Amino acid sequence: MKLNRLILAAVAALFVQSSYAQQPYGGCWHPDDIKNWSPETDKDAKFNRSRVPLAKRFKEPTLMKANSQQYYEGQICNAPILFPTCSMCPSQGAYNFLGYQPTYWQYMDKLVYWAGSASEGIIIPPPAGSIDAAHQSGVKVLGQVFFPPYAFGGNQAWVRQMLTKENGVYIYAKKLYEIAKYIGFDGWFINEETGGGSESEWVGFIKEFNKIADANGDTHMEIQWYNAEYSPNVTILKSHKNTSQFLEYGSPGDYRRYASQLGCTEAETFSKIYGGVQVASSGHTGFERDLQKAMPTSGHVGSLDLFCPEEKTWKDNVRNLLGKNDTGPDAYYAIKETFKNEMQMWTNYAGDPTVTTDEWSGISGHVLERSVISSMPFTTSFCVGVGKHRFVEGEKVATQDWYHSGVQSIMPTWRYWMENKDDASFEINWEDAWNFGSSLKLKGGSAFSGDHLWRLYKTQLAVNGGGTLRLVYKSSNTTNASVEVKLSTTSSVNPDVTLSAPKTTTKNGWTVAEYDLSSLNGKTIYMIGLNVKAKFTVYDYELSLGELSVLPANYAPAPVEVKNLATTSTLGNVQGDARLTWDFDYTADFDHFDIYKENEDGTRTMVGQTRDEAFYVPTFQRKDNEAYVKFIVTPVMKDMRQQKGKSIVLDYPQATAPVVSFTISNSYLKVGESATITANGTGNPTAFKWTLPEGLKLANGFSLTDQTITVVAEKVGKQRVTVDVTNAIGTSTTSSNILDVMTEEEYKKIYNVVYQKKVLGYSGSTNYKEVPDKIIDGETNPTSASDKWCNVSADNWVTFDLQSVYRIYSFKIFDGNAGPESGVDQIDSYQILLSEDNEHWTTVVDTYNRQKESIKTDYIAPMRARYVKLVPHVNGILRIWEFEVYGKKDNSMKLSTLTNNVTMNAGESYNINVTYDLGEGATKADKFECVATSKNGNVTIGTIKENVKKNTFVIPVTAKQRMGDDVVTIRVVNGDDYEEIAVQVEVDATTQPNVLKGKTAEVRHYENDYSFEAAFKKYDVSGLTDGNKADEALTDIEAPSTHRDDVWVIFTAPEGKQWDLAKVIVNIPNENYAENDNNEMNYVNKDVKIAVGDDLTRMNTAKTFSGLKKVSELSYIFPESVKTKYLAVICNLYVYSLPSMAEVSAYEQFADPTAINNATVQNAVKGIYTVNGTKLNALQKGLNIVKFADGTVQKVLVK
């Protein structure tokens, strides 16, 4: 494709980065997408990889309970939807304050990333940040394999594909392990609600997965199973010792009795069987009854799987903010409420795990807190993974709303357990922090006095060679209030040690207190708390915690080295973004990386933090005409000290005199109307000077030295404007025929010229319904959410054929929120290109930062074109409801035919008559001709003749000896102008034998909706091929149809052979109208599918006849013949109807005629004869005499 960029367009390309939509997103795949997946072929793989290993939890010698009703045995599996749509999950956080991930990990044992949809993808690994946060607290993380119900787009072909075996191996089980191993999570949740796989197959699949994992040392990996069953599936659960099951909602209870059947202990059933809880419906504090069933106060009997608690804790708060870049006060309030809700759910309304008397006892009222803090170094910065600013040792180094769950800290085991609390309260403080973006604040209330023991962390830290406990805090009153560190050296929540004599310093307003632990040598620290003391009453007291660390003595960790720092990003003239990747060796001393952006003048800003090996820096602006920008990746160890970093430089394009484009409010006017024109120039323009033609007048209030001017149309015609634009480098002069001034009659001729035209090609769609044809149907706000073009891709394209040449003026895009859906992704940037020949293209719109506009309008300098290419980029899912192109015909020629659809028999000829009208005042040019082309080559085109008197062309076409379809395109050319018309041609045949004649059909009547494993009753029926097209042949089936696609009529090719099918005919008796099982007359067959394939479990649907009413015959000619072992006619009946069919016939494609010299004959056939001269209707096996259209004669052998 040849590209010629027109800089005088709506917005010039140089205003946009050279590579769009670099934001990496988490995987969201269908089976085809992962069959050959590897980190090397996935450009986002490093961005999605977690490097934080799964921490090991401990169980203290004597249980350390916040209340007497807590027990360890029962497990909580949390299954939240962490992002609104799986395909828009940013790999390394984002620049907004709307993200949320759980922080009460001490009450969870597993996290299931609940995600997926038929349109976006059904195989979804968890986000790297979520893995990081869960793993550091010892929580296993499972990705999602979602086979949705049929009503939500379920497709059994995906199930069959997932269960594919090659050389005895379940290849997708192997691939799922490879993905989990590389990305760094612990297995998969298989949500099987589609059907199509047998229990034995799934057992084999799970065994394959764990066999590979075990062999590679990943003995902890797990498959959790769900298929809406209320009882444990013993067969599935016995697949592997780690296999678990999520039981249907409403099933919490005691399942220890299954231990003997599963071959495990009663204790092990807690990690295998989970009763489902529909938290999305009950609310985040509305499932007390389910808690009591599985985890009664006397001791645990079962475990729970919590479905979508974030719907109530988080999503209800942010629902109206999602999809918006503006965060601010609304977002701050929403997330503050989110953490309040989270506290209520995981502890209780008081946020205090000692409280059990409330109506809602909370999860802390049942589950004993887990901990992983069993070795030095340990550090926490009380970061919840979302912030307004970024801090380093109390210094605010950046102000930017952000979230990144991967930099969460381990929050306190007992977050808000304080004795003598009175009216004191706690909150997350995003305004001030020591590191990252938040601290934990105690607010003393109306009057704060006395001792207040605040228990923080459950630990198991052996002190052998001394060590240091560091506490960083900020107190509003250091005169009358103080902070003591309290420890327990027994397995108890009651402290027995008070640390004293800290080494104290201050920095950036924070107190840094370091305590020597050598006095505790030989002991173990089981609890860390604070005693906040006020010797006198303190009013409005506040204490913020910034860091708590327990470090080895003389701690000097070996620094982590950043290796192979690289980027694939290229900066634009005025802005850019950056994808940074690197390698490093993870160690127990490593905490995270700080990422800085440094301008050429040395100013430095922190742009992000991560614990992984990649980071994405969103769009940033070029500063003046600086030559480069530098990025520095700095390791930070567990002592929270920055180490030496590595840097990489990205160069901007060399600054030049302005490259100018125009933004136009309207490019076609009537006399007296006005338009606004803006000159856009690169390189920070400082001066503008306009020159106008005599047909345009400068409007009052504007100067010819303004960047933006308004002009008034005074004279009909094409108007050319010129502007001089100056920047620090120099001045450039640019001219363009920027707009047309029209008469009233011409103005009325402008309309949407792409309406119901032709889609030539496109990048992809989520399914066969939501395709680009839907965006040129004239429905700007349809009632159906499927009437759109939808695709799960950042980068997309579609090409339209306007089927004639037009003068184009403007475009309109009806984006995601303009239709029946709301709060969805919208296009950020896009290009529109025009062409006359579908080969040489000109970019006329190249624009960015448009995601806030639901209806996007762009005017261009008028341009002649036939083909339009739309190239939209979106951070998430593309949803376009309508695309409009406004223009007017560039000539007045009209063509017509008697019919646009022709059916011919093989070997026949037909004359297509085309009438032309050159239009009022038009005459024939020197070059006046008619040309015709065949799309598929199933017809040949003879010599075209013109009837001058009748203004017609006669185009003779001859069908070749093969069935199929074709399109004959006829173009009439008059000088530089032309007009086209297309005729659809279907080539049939009456001479080919019916390959099904006399065969017996296998008829299956399924007892449920069709699936591979569904039970069915089988009937052998010979009446479907006896030639009787009127009478019922399925009289043996007496049961009505009540399920989807439950009647299959199957024909099998002779042993060891395939049919080369070209046509299938299905005859239905009584015009598809009969008495149903309720003794009511009704239509019978609702949908009929023609399916072919070599495996009855993986049939391909070639044609679907939908919404049938009165019909006797269904005929389908394949566009290209299909070789197949099986032919199936699949019927979906109106409910309670009895299966009904009279006859099925099928015809093979003509055998390729082969000459004596074995050369395939391509010429059109005029006549076929035997060696004795008898004329034949079709080629016979053996020797034929064939006369071809070009007059030649050959002997043709049909093998």
For 493-550, write each residue's pLDDT tens digit.
999 999 999 999 999 999 999 999 999 999 999 999 999 999 999 999 999 999 999 9
| Side chain identity at residue 889, one-letter code | K
**Contact predicate 119/790, CB 8 Å:** yes
> What whole-number distance in Å separates Cα of residue 236 and Cα of residue 225?
8
The DSSP 8-state label assigned to residue 1162 in this structure reads -
CA dist 226 → 207, 249, 280, 498 (Å): 16, 11, 17, 50
pLDDT at 17: 33
The DSSP 8-state label assigned to residue 1 in this structure reads -
| Side chain identity at residue 742, one-letter code | M
- Which comes out higher in pLDDT, residue 120 or 133? 133
pLDDT at 160: 93
> What whole-number distance in Å separates Cα of residue 155 and Cα of residue 153?
6
Mean pLDDT computed over 641-658 = 95
> What whole-number distance in Å separates Cα of residue 670 and Cα of residue 742?
5
- Which comes out higher in pLDDT, residue 1034 or 4? 1034
> What whole-number distance in Å separates Cα of residue 83 and Cα of residue 317?
14
Cα–Cα nearest to 91, from 41, 128, 58, 56: 128
> Is 18 a residue whose pLDDT tops 60?
no
In 334-375, at which residue ranges do the beta strands (DSSP E only) sit? Answer: none
> What whole-number distance in Å separates Cα of residue 1091 and Cα of residue 479?
84
Residue 522: both structure tokens together:
């030989």
> Is 11 a residue whose pLDDT tops 60?
no
Cis peptide before 377 (omega within 30 of 0): yes
pLDDT at 949: 93
Q: Find residue 443's DSSP bridge partners.
A: 425, 542
What is the CB neighbour count within 10 angstroms for residue 410?
24
> Is 465 a residue whose pLDDT tops 90?
yes
Residue 928: both structure tokens together:
């006046």
Domains annotated for the chain, with CATH where assigned, are 2-21+749-889 (2.60.120.260), 55-90+105-365 (3.20.20.80), 378-551 (2.60.120.260), 563-651 (2.60.40.10), 660-747 (2.60.40.10), 894-988 (2.60.40.10), 1001-1148 (2.60.120.260), 1154-1198 (no CATH)
Q: Is residue 1095 packed enough to be buried (19+ CB in 10 Å), middle (13-18) or exposed (0-12)?
A: exposed
pLDDT at 131: 98
The DSSP 8-state label assigned to residue 926 in this structure reads S
The model's pTM is: 0.81
> What whole-number distance in Å separates Cα of residue 779 and Cα of residue 814?
10
> What whole-number distance in Å separates Cα of residue 774 and Cα of residue 764?
13
**Contact predicate 591/638, CB 8 Å:** yes
Express each pLDDT in 788-842 by its tens digit: 999 877 678 999 999 889 999 999 999 988 998 877 778 888 999 999 999 999 9
> Is 14 a residue whose pLDDT tops 70?
no
pLDDT at 319: 82
Residue 1071: both structure tokens together:
């015009």
Mean pLDDT computed over 624-635 = 95
> Is 734 a residue whose pLDDT tops 70?
yes
DSSP string across 910-949: EEEEEEEE--TT----SSEEEEEEESSSSEEE---EEETT
pLDDT at 766: 80
Whether the CA torsion 698, 699, 703, 708 is positive or negative: it is negative
Euclidean distance between the first and the last CA atom of the chain, given in angstroms as a whole number = 43
Spatial CB neighbours of 1080, under 8 Å, sequence gap ≥ 6: none
Express each pLDDT in 275-304 by its tens digit: 999 999 999 999 999 999 999 999 999 999
Cα–Cα nearest to 118, from 79, 159, 90: 159
> Is 1194 a residue whose pLDDT tops 80?
no
Q: What average pLDDT does the chain have?
A: 92
pLDDT at 1163: 60
pLDDT at 246: 98
> What whole-number distance in Å separates Cα of residue 1176 and Cα of residue 708?
77
> Is 223 a residue whose pLDDT tops 60?
yes
> What whole-number distance in Å separates Cα of residue 17 and Cα of residue 594?
25
> What whole-number distance in Å separates Cα of residue 636 and Cα of residue 1100?
55
SS3 content of the chain, % helix, strand, coil (to 5): 10, 45, 45
**Contact predicate 551/461, CB 8 Å:** no
pLDDT at 1199: 61
The DSSP 8-state label assigned to residue 94 in this structure reads B
> What whole-number distance in Å separates Cα of residue 226 and Cα of residue 228?
6
Element (H, E) at 246: strand 244-249
Whether the CA torsion 691, 697, 702, 703 is positive or negative: it is positive
